[in-house]
Chains A and B, each alone.
Chain A
């Protein structure tokens, strides 16, 4: 086994003892990235990093979703609008990872401006699922999930606005954490929907996520919405037993639209946790039926406002020979944005426009409160909520591309978490037709340690997280 495949804690020990070296790890990750080129998951390779830096993640390579600014490197957001954009400064997540000594291998493919659930809305072509190259890796953090699943890097960053870390983690058979809103700074993360966007981490194991979250979590004066909540020791909490843990099972997470075989595998995982001493508590969650309608109004409204900054003046694509200021705005935006981004800007602009604001945007915000209150109520009687992360296994490339509503339905179990600002983690819990299935755990706000503990305990007794896709096996020499 290569050191690159070790748990992060063991990898750190191997680096500290001199059993392996930052340079060889970095070069091996680059070789694996080259061998995985057919995934189309890595958009750019970053300049050679400083290998001599010390810190808790010193010498450990990672990939960065391409909507985080990483000073001096391209940041395209998967868009032609930013095809030539080079980040002038570091996002706080980048700065903290840089300070920790982690080595940024490159930037990962994503749906344009994080708008999508399949990675097919990237201006640079879709990333592919390493388990089956004819299937999507999920989105929007599809490139990050595919590269972790393929064993190219031990961890990757992602961002989650409606499921964009958890759904690709589920589709690619890796672990992915969307922290609580405010737990990780959004400074330098290109904004999609500011009240929902949340930076997070994807890795093979929950314990690896704990190590990285420790580095990136915490208040940031540069992001007024980042929480001034103390950051606990995430690794220390991992070893606690799940004995006595109360796991709520909201009925809606197993309702219409969920593949019965996915539901069955998820229930089998929950029964395993029950056998480990947890108690399963059925719960009613009728409010969930309006999560997708509420989410798609709020997210598109915020997107239409956030993306108004792309005007062809200060950065990004500018049309040739504009005849007037309006012509400059209109043509630069029309040429720079892809179809899904335009569709969402149009919807959001409509929902915010005079005559429709109350019926759509204001109403969606009220429904958001009802959903958030319902989740808080459920979490007052149990420790975590659980269900399938995604309603199906990864779908085929092109299968849902012409039907936006069918694509939005892939987020059915993930968007409520963002509306409520809660933390949630997806972990691999089985294979269906040789494709991974993910179990989603949701916790109280700032209860990331609890989610990591439950996932870690599950991963101590199961090996779903250790299964590798056939393409990774070919490039890394590890048996699937």
Chain B
């Protein structure tokens, strides 16, 4: 399978990344080079094989339903580029 420039534009939109028009052709070429490697997956017979999402056999472990101290919101908000009165600031969404 190979991707064309329109597909690369659409995937970039989904990934919230932007590329100059001049970068798109080389990005598409790189993606196609990698996809030709990945396309070897088509050669596998995976009939009746269940997907393995996680190694081992993860068990949900139980714990007591007791509140534990969480991170201090103020400490975490100090990492934010813009905050005001305990809120994270973003550009206006509704006009």
A residues sitting closer than 8 Å to B (CB atoms) are 85-86, 88-89, 180-182, 195, 221, 224-225, 227-228, 289-290, 292-294, 296-297, 304, 308, 311-318, 322-331, 333-334, 337, 342-343, 345-347, 349-351, 353, 356, 359-360, 362-370, 372, 404-405, 408, 419-422, 445
Given contacts A224-B61, A405-B34, contact A366 B17 (CB under 8 A): no
Q: Which residue of A lies closest to B63 (CB)?
A: A221
Given contacts A315-B80, A318-B82, contact A296 B51 (CB under 8 A): no
Contact A304 B41 (CB under 8 A): no
* Chain A residues within an 8 Å CB radius of B91: 322-325, 327-328
The 8 closest A-B pairs by CB, nearest first: A421-B55, A365-B51, A318-B81, A369-B52, A366-B46, A315-B79, A329-B16, A349-B15
* Chain A residues within an 8 Å CB radius of B67: none
A323 to chain B, nearest CB (A): 7
* Docked complex Cα distance between A182 and B58 (Å): 9
A–B Cβ pairs within 8 angstroms, 20 of them: A88-B75, A181-B56, A182-B56, A195-B54, A297-B38, A314-B80, A315-B81, A328-B90, A333-B17, A342-B17, A343-B31, A347-B35, A359-B41, A360-B38, A366-B49, A367-B44, A421-B54, A421-B56, A422-B55, A445-B55
Given contacts A349-B11, A365-B53, contact A404 B34 (CB under 8 A): yes
* Chain A residues within an 8 Å CB radius of B38: 293, 296-297, 351, 360, 364
* Docked complex Cα distance between A301 and B94 (Å): 32
Given contacts A334-B19, A367-B49, could you give 20 more A-B pairs where the C-beta distance is less than 8 Å?
A89-B71, A181-B56, A290-B44, A293-B37, A297-B38, A313-B80, A313-B88, A313-B90, A323-B91, A326-B16, A333-B17, A337-B17, A345-B17, A353-B10, A363-B46, A404-B33, A408-B34, A419-B55, A421-B56, A445-B55
* Chain A residues within an 8 Å CB radius of B81: 312-313, 315-318
* Chain A residues within an 8 Å CB radius of B75: 88
* Chain A residues within an 8 Å CB radius of B19: 334
Partner of B50, one of A294, A324, A366: A366
A108 to chain B, nearest CB (A): 22
* Docked complex Cα distance between A203 and B7 (Å): 45
A338 to chain B, nearest CB (A): 12
